[in-house]
Structure 1
Amino acid sequence: MTQPAPGYAPVPAAPKTNVLAIVSLVISILGFNVIAIILGAIALSQIKKTGENGRGLAIAGIIIGAISIVLIIIWIIAIAALAASGAITTTTY
């Protein structure tokens, strides 16, 4: 490591990005929503304790996971309602 110029302090290293926050975001995009929400919550807890970067990534993983679960539930309810109303029928040949 080189010495700083006289009169200047060395630049401190930037904090690391929390790995679980990154994994939470990636897993939520891949569709493993419940796991993404859990990992995001754990990442937020670790970030609070350690001061690492990645809070936004963890929050994004939680939000994407939660929205995906809500959309899946709405989709299932819509299909069930259509089936109950007779709008969806099956035909056999």
Structure 2
Amino acid sequence: MAQPPYDPYGYGSQDPYAQQYSQPQSVQHHYYGSGPPVPPRNNGMAIASMVLGIVGVLSCGVLVFSIGAVIFGHVAQSQIKRTGEGGNGMAVTGLILGYLFFVIGLLYWIVIVGIYGAAWWSLSQDPTY
């Protein structure tokens, strides 16, 4: 009588310790699409507006930074409306800081020029000078 081939597991050709799992089906939701949602890119002009607004705060009265923040903020908002990019909050932040510190810097320079002008005028009117 012929002997059957050696069966190491004693259960036929199947390994009892091998785990046979089926791959889970991927769940597709209508709001996920093919992957996680990707946030829109931030507009570069919006970033520049916010940075110039912060630099305008830190420079205390240098009007160039505030004017730049206002210009970049308005350009960024128009681009964001047209292209759908992100960064509207940064553009608004740059606009608020730009306008606020433009007014503060303008008032500062008006006061300084007024003080020096009044001092010069009073010295020019003094006959003993």
TM-score (norm 1): 0.75
Matching residue of 1:17: 42
Distance 2:73 2:28 in 1: 42
Q: Aligned-pair RMSD on alpha carbons?
A: 2.3
Query: What TM-score, normalized to structure 2?
Result: 0.56
Larger radius of gyration: 2
Q: Is it true that 1:68 corresponds to 2:93 in the alignment?
A: no
Q: Indicate which of 67, 85, 89 corresponds to 1:34.
A: 67
Gaps of 5+ in 1: none
More helix by share: 1
Does the alignment pair 1:5 with 2:26? Answer: yes
Aligned sequence identity (%): 35
| Distance change (3 Å), C-alpha of 1:77 and 1:14 | same
> Which sections of structure 2, spanning at least 5 residues, go unmatched?
1-24, 57-64, 124-129
Distance 1:69 1:6 in 2: 53
Quickly say closer, same or farther: Cα 1:81–1:59, change in 2 above 3 A. Answer: same
SS of the aligned residue for 1:30 comes to helix
Matched, 1:56 2:84: no
